Structure 1
Amino acid sequence: MTALPPLAARPAVLDFLRTRRSRPAKTLRAPGPDRAALEPLLEIALRVPDHGKLEPWRLIVLEGAALDRLADLTAARAEALGLDPDKAAKARAMFADAPVMVAVVAAPVDSPKIPPEEQVLSAGAVCQNLTTAALAAGWGANWLSGWMALDRPWLTDGLALDAHEWVAGLIVLGTETATPPDRPRPDPAAKIAWIDA
């Protein structure tokens, strides 16, 4: 078997990944990406590891009236659950203030070979790919979740998800209004082990 030449290095990509950081959702404002700008980012989002080619995820783009509806539903569910008013207001604002949001739905597939944990990780990779692609395209982006992501009435009434589906991430996309300072990063020495025997 003939060896292939090594892949070309992409230093600009490595520099971007070395310094990337999400933008706080509360600092993102309109305009968000329109359909023409968003479609290529969604295609990039779906280029993730997917053992067995199960595609155990799907995307729902939320804009305009859909975000207003979800803000109201979130407030109603928070009241029904007896949540702290500050927590309820913060959850409602996630939708009311978002220019554009993409719900990454984890949709596990029954498989004798691929465990559900791998499928969940694949859905998480979709969230990361979309967030990173949006940042690389010049948009502000933030991957959120919250109690709504697992609240069955919210998932059913808000997104019409099937009983086995849930939200892996709510990706907020918009125009950055403030550049946040970088946050402390993990110490590689504390998180990386090298084993050679």
Structure 2
Amino acid sequence: MSDALSLLQQRHSAPSRQLGEPAPDAVGLRALLEAAIRVPDHGKLVPFRLIELRGHAKLKFGAQLAERAIRRDPDLPESKREKERLRYTFAPLVMVVVARLQADSGIPDIEQKLCAGNVAYNILLGAYALGFGAQWLTGWAAYDPEVAALLGLAKNECVIGFVHIGTPIADIPDRDRPALDDLLSEWKA
């Protein structure tokens, strides 16, 4: 079997809480992102962009999200408040994948979002290929207008995902996967 297929068969997400230092350095991250943006792109719109969160800025972003979570739900239980406060303290690097929707292009929004989603998935695959762990998360923050403003998103932009990247600090067992035979059919005329 080819190494590429082996990589796909072994790839799995590493929970962000189980990711620590190191993350890819600047050279490794650039190579990863240059590979990640090689996605199918109907109309050659490049309907995506990336925002890097690292170091103090990542922690400040996480703290502001935790404050927003509590404003959104003042009755949020303490356990969930703590989860929100810690969310951005584990993985040393978070890449925000943003879709830039171009309504006047004639390309449906869903295709543009799928293009950006492919970038997020390529980041996951690339991180795994380089020996790192990664997890693609969304949650409430991906859809919150105040978070969009905090990130400086334009009206035609939306968060596709927050991809947390680092080195796994524990063995991460793979989860059960669906059986292909349960998913595959053949269309017959």
Q: Would you say same fold, with TM above 0.5?
A: yes
Matched, 1:163 2:161: no
Q: Structure 1 residue runs of 4+, over 6 Å off? A: none
Asked if the contact 2:66–2:85 (Cα under 8 Å) also holds between the matched residues in 1, the reply is: yes
The residue aligned with 2:171 is 179
Please report the TM-score for the alignment, with normalisation by the length of structure 2.
0.93
CA distance in 1, matches of 2:117, 2:44: 15
Asked if the contact 1:67–1:98 (Cα under 8 Å) also holds between the matched residues in 2, the reply is: no
Match of 2:80 among 82, 87, 109: 87
User: Equivalent pairs: percent with the same residue?
Assistant: 40
CA distance in 1, matches of 2:153, 2:64: 15
The residue aligned with 1:52 is 43
| 1:97 counterpart SS class | coil
Amino acid at match of 1:167: V
Asked if the contact 2:18–2:90 (Cα under 8 Å) also holds between the matched residues in 1, the reply is: no
CA distance in 1, matches of 2:104, 2:91: 36
CA distance in 2, matches of 1:146, 1:88: 14
Asked if the contact 1:91–1:146 (Cα under 8 Å) also holds between the matched residues in 2, the reply is: no
Amino acid at match of 2:112: Q
The residue aligned with 1:150 is 143
Aligned-pair RMSD on alpha carbons?
A: 1.4
Radius of gyration: which is bigger? 1
Matched, 1:68 2:59: yes
Unaligned runs of 5+ in 2: none
| 1:13 counterpart SS class | helix
Matched, 1:39 2:30: yes
The residue aligned with 1:103 is 96
CA distance in 2, matches of 1:84, 1:30: 30
| 1:193 counterpart SS class | coil
Please report the TM-score for the alignment, with normalisation by the length of structure 1.
0.90
Asked if the contact 2:102–2:156 (Cα under 8 Å) also holds between the matched residues in 1, the reply is: no
CA distance in 1, matches of 2:79, 2:159: 22
Deviates more, 1:74-83 or 1:38-47: 74-83
Matched, 1:192 2:179: no
CA distance in 2, matches of 1:181, 1:140: 12
CA distance in 2, matches of 1:138, 1:98: 14
Amino acid at match of 1:152: P
Unaligned runs of 5+ in 1: 1-9
Asked if the contact 1:30–1:99 (Cα under 8 Å) also holds between the matched residues in 2, the reply is: yes
| 1:51 counterpart SS class | coil
How big is the shift at 1:112?
4.3
Asked if the contact 1:23–1:179 (Cα under 8 Å) also holds between the matched residues in 2, the reply is: no
For residues 139-190 of structure 1, give each alpha carbon's deviation from its aligned partner in whole angstroms, at most 9, with x where no partner exists: 1111111110110111202x11112212101111111111211101012122
